[in-house]
Amino acid sequence: MILLILVSILQIFFMLYMALQWSIGEKTKSIEQDYSSVIPKECSYHYKKFSIEDIDTKEINRNITKLKIDHIYFIHGTFVGDDPFDILSFLERAFPSLAGNIIDKLRAQIKTGNNLFARELGNFHPNLIKRLKEICPKETRFENFTWSSSNHHIARLRGSLNLMKSIHMNTSQDERILLYGHSHAGQLFTLLSQLLSKSIVSSQLKEILLKNDISNEELEGLIASCKKRKFDFVTLGTPVRYTWNNKSFSNSTLLHFINHRGSTPMGGGLTSSISTKNGDYIQQWAVAGSDSKSPVKEDQKLNEELDLILGIGRDSTMLRRNIKFRKRLHKYGEHILVDFGDNSRVPNSFLTVFGHGIYTKKDPMLWIIHQSLRKIK
């Protein structure tokens, strides 16, 4: 308990440290991402309005059976995982004797605390899984996947690696797996698409992972295992960051649900964010340049290398420039721009996490599942 309290205090300290780092900024060598193309040629989009009356739980059940979906994964986004500020990673390296059971217990307690604090706001609460077990066919299996949720490249790459491990352990060959990812969990999907490809980016990402995180034999085994499954992906408010490799999942469905209000597929201005007038502001703000600085020196170096592969991680000047484009649409996939009705005439930005927390609430999530199953082929 004392150690958990100390970790909580350290998390508050690192939150303040991150805010200071964002305000100061730091120049790094990296690939600059182009946000000027507001509507990419390869993507599609259309508008929808959320309504509880549209949810048909019986149709959800029928479509899961019809599509032969065996396994459904839910992957949370940033800051609601089991090591959101890299405190445990820092302690693990500083005090190797803590590694193992102690760190694992702390991870579980931190995630439990985040579930209690965030509930359904930007977080896949265990109660959602309980409800889905009542709705879906009995043979359907669910995974509420947890990763560190720290806000930088190497944390997401490790998250994608651990997702591959989970898929290998918990699913079987030829299974059809449907994955829902909130916020930067969508980047885990993109990294998976790169790791399973034969691209130069794949080779570069593997080289990073092979330094400390996994052996080549195990990594290639995981890749081979994942290639024997069929995947469909649904992202919820995922910011436009990493480049999707379309060749890895040419027969898969890729859907992007985005909380949006307005007649054009662009985000809103800063002043309108107070009442979430135009929908999800975090989705348009958490672009290249918005990453945090890890307190772990080894990870800082890895993030610098990943800047050259995945694009700018942390750069306040570049972030200010990129935000101005108010970019909503990814290069690949079908976009469903949904008015979830969470806007207000009075300030509500903190209650809604600037329109970013609505997706994972029970009714909107059931609606998203219902709508996405209609679109999957």
Q: Residue 94 — very low, low, confident or very high, per pLDDT cuts 50/70/90? A: confident
170-175: average pLDDT: 97
Closest among 110, 143, 106 to 126, alpha carbons compared: 143
Average pLDDT, the chain: 92
pLDDT number for residue 19: 53
pLDDT number for residue 17: 57
Tell the burial category of 61 from Cβ atoms under 10 Å away from its Cβ (0-12, 13-18, 19+).
Answer: middle
SS (H, E, C) 290-326: ECCCCCCHHHHHHHHHHHHHHCCCECHHHHHHHHCCC
- 369 pLDDT more than 90: yes
Q: Residue 27 — very low, low, confident or very high, per pLDDT cuts 50/70/90? A: low
User: What are the sequence ranges of the domains in the chain?
Assistant: 2-375
**16-25, 63-72, 247-256, 298-307: least confident range:** 16-25
140-156: average pLDDT: 98
Task: Decide which of 13 and 319 is more confident.
Answer: 319
Contact by Cβ (8 Å): 59, 376: no
- 5 pLDDT more than 80: no
d(CA 267, CA 194): 28
140-154: average pLDDT: 98
Amino acid in the structure at residue 320: R
**23-27, 69-73, 134-138: least confident range:** 23-27
Q: Long-range CB contacts (< 8 A, 24+ apart) of 12-19?
A: 14/85, 14/86, 14/87, 14/295, 15/85, 17/293, 17/295, 18/85, 18/151, 18/292, 18/293
- 276 pLDDT more than 90: yes
The pLDDT tens digits for 306-354 are 999 999 999 999 999 999 999 999 999 999 999 999 999 889 999 999 9
User: In sequence order, what are the residues at sequence separation of 6 or more whose Cβ sits closer than 8 angstroms to the Cβ of residue 337?
Assistant: 45, 46, 47, 48, 258, 260, 265, 279, 328
Q: Residue 236 — very low, low, confident or very high, per pLDDT cuts 50/70/90? A: very high
Q: Residue 28 — very low, low, confident or very high, per pLDDT cuts 50/70/90? A: low
- Give phi and psi for 141, each to the nearest 5: -110, 150
Beta-sheet pairing, 141-145 with 71-75: parallel
The pLDDT tens digits for 285-295 are 999 999 999 99
pLDDT number for residue 16: 56
pLDDT number for residue 119: 96
Backbone angle region of 81, left / alpha / beta, with phi > 0 → left and psi within -120 to 50 → alpha: beta
Q: The pTM is what?
A: 0.93
The pLDDT tens digits for 244-264 are 999 999 999 999 999 999 999
- 62 pLDDT more than 60: yes
SS (H, E, C) 218-273: HHHHHHHHHCCCEEEEEEECCCCCCCCCCCCCCCCCEEEEEEECCCCCECCCCHHH
- 96 pLDDT more than 90: no
pLDDT number for residue 13: 54
Q: Residue 359 — very low, low, confident or very high, per pLDDT cuts 50/70/90? A: very high
The pLDDT tens digits for 174-218 are 999 999 999 999 999 999 999 999 999 999 999 999 999 999 999
pLDDT number for residue 31: 65
